[in-house]
Amino acid sequence: MSPVNAPDAPGRLGEAVDPLQLRSYLIALDKWLEARRSELEALDVAVQESEHADELTRDMALSLQLWQSIQTRYRRLLQVWDRGRVSIREREQLSSLVWGRLDDDTWSGTAASGLSLPEACRMSDALCGQLRSRLQLDPAGTQAVARLRDLRATMERLRDQVGLEPPQTIAAAQARLAQLEGRLTMINEKAGRGGDIGGLLGPLEAEAATFERDLIVGGVQRRANAQAQQQTAQRADYAQRLRADLLARSQQLDELVAQVVATVSSPPKYAVPDVTALGPVPAGNPGELEAYIARLEKVGQAMEFVSRAYSDALRGSQKLANELIMLRSEADQHQLTDQQLSALFAVADQLMQRSPRPTETLTALLDACRYYLSWLAGQPGARGTVD
């Protein structure tokens, strides 16, 4: 079984990919997908016939799922590529499809979720190499040169991947890479002397493939953790701003409640929610932060309810004052100077000055004024003084 390695991807994330380079990449990727599919079919048969099928089935299933995700992204690339009819916008989209994360639902929730297309291809190479080694499908000595070449290519990929490690893990990764490279150098020297290296290649291939896989998965997990930390920071900032806004609204509501209590005889009986009772914004735990935000939002809803209730009560009191003004205006339009009507208006003025206003009494009094004014306006010779 002759191993195949994925082609190098062109461009980088955020830059429009070169059309000629992408065309060559798509052709090479198509050939790689076809060869990898044939290789996976052969490996699947070998796994089923192996005495260690239970141990290998998981890696086999992972390899097949990974191949399917890569093929799905390849088909999406072909759709956007549209036989080379691409503008700068499509070229940027193609670059995003190559270097962005695989969005196949197959990977959601697994350790490999979030791989870019090149990372997924490298992981596929590593998984298949590991399976070949564990199944011992290569006849001893017949493909030693090709296997050494593949190992050297693997070491190059490992150097690139190790360079992406963070400061806290790069030293350990460099030490492990140096150990693998030292073993490869020893094997090369032994092969140059004509020694049998068949028994040495398999373990090194397996360890290199496992190391490459661990590095790729670790990189994906770090990116996911960084994104989660960024999202948590954004949510914490949102919680701080929401809390500050609710504190300000609480002060405004206290003033509104005091105004309504002083103005309206039968005000609502709702209390203004106490934002400070929730405590400060929690730090560090995303679950606690989300629960805190949910409580803040409920407080905001309660404040909205209280605000509407007291605002409606205040508007009702103001409406009575406006109604008295309109009744006076109507009397002036009819040129009515009735003493009883003037007396009713005077009583209404006195009640309006009370704090709180007796709204029910005022409502009844203004109704009486309205009916009396309407009766006066309908009398013969209504204009002028009515005794």
pLDDT digits (tens, 9 = 90+) for 161-192: 999 899 999 999 999 999 999 999 998 888 76
Tell me the C-alpha to C-alpha distance, in Å, between residue 258 and each of 267, 321, 356: 10, 19, 11
Q: Is it the case that residue 26 has pLDDT exceeding 90?
A: yes
Higher-pLDDT residue of 211 and 5 is 211
φ, ψ at 142 (rounded to 5°): -80, -25
Please compute the mean of the pLDDT values over residues 370-385 and round it to a whole number.
72
φ, ψ at 116 (rounded to 5°): -80, 170
Q: Is it the case that residue 110 has pLDDT exceeding 70?
A: no
Q: Which of 151, 123, 143 is nearest to 210 (CA)?
A: 123
The percentage of the chain sitting over the pLDDT mark of 90, rounded to a whole number, equals: 42
Q: State in Å, rounded, how far the first CA of the chain is from the last one.
A: 120
Spatial distance between the Cα atoms of 61 and 41, rounded to a whole number of angstroms: 11
Residue 20: exposure state from Cβ atoms within 10 A (0-12, 13-18, ≥19): exposed
**Residue 384 forms beta bridges with which residues?**
336
C-beta neighbour count of 34 within 10 angstroms: 12
Domain boundaries, the chain: 1-137, 233-304, 314-377
Spatial distance between the Cα atoms of 171 and 254, rounded to a whole number of angstroms: 60
Q: What is the pLDDT of residues 312-354, one digit of tens each?
A: 887 777 777 888 888 888 888 877 777 887 888 888 878 877 7
Give the pLDDT confidence score for residue 386 in this predicted structure: 44
Please compute the mean of the pLDDT values over residues 354-381 and round it to a whole number.
79
